[in-house]
Structure formats: C-alpha cells, structure tokens
Amino acid sequence: MSKSYYRNKIASKRKDIVSLRQDIKDVKDKKKRKVEAINRQIKSAATSKSSKERLRKDKIKLSTDTANKVDKLKLKIENIKKDIESLKKSLAAAKK
C-alpha cells in the first residue's frame, strides 16, 4: 500500500484519540454535575434519612460507573496508540 494510505490512517487514528479524550472530559463533567446535584439533595432538610442513605449509595455507584467508563475509554486510546505504532512500522516499510 502507498505511504499516503498509511499517513491518512494515522491521521484518522489521531482524530479518534482526540475524540475519545473529549469523551473522557465529558464523562467527568457529567459526573461532577450529578454529584453536585446529589449533594444538594442530601443537604436538603426535607430529605428523609432513608432517602439520604439511598442518595449516598447512588453517589458511590455513580463514581464507580464513571471510573469504569473512563477506564474503558483509556483502554480504547491505548489500543489506538498500538494501532498507530503498527501503522508507522508499515509506513516505514512501504514503498512509494
């Protein structure tokens, strides 16, 4: 295959990495907003004790779920980086 093919594939993979990094940022921002909302509900005087316990559990679950999502996205980034390295090796070996 031509060198331009490999260059285009590498550029595409780099765009994918940028997109995934933005996804990680979005997931973290969403978590932050949800945690703030839960904290407001917990501090609310009208909320019963059982509701507060449920909200605290929801907050813990949200943190765990968010961490899992971020880890999955980071794994995708690492896999794409490996793909890029493979493409770079192919590019070096490619003929014009």
Q: Which H/E stretch holds residue 87?
A: helix 49-93
The rounded Cα 4 to chain-centroid distance in angstroms is: 30
Q: For 13-38, what is each residue's pLDDT tens digit?
A: 999 999 999 999 999 999 999 999 99
Kindly list the domain boundaries of the chain, sorted by start residue.
Answer: 3-93
Q: For 33-59, what is each residue's pLDDT tens digit?
A: 999 999 998 888 677 888 889 999 999
For the record, the structure tokens of 89 come out as 């090796």
3-class DSSP state of 14? helix
Phi, psi of 46 (to 5 degrees): -75, -15
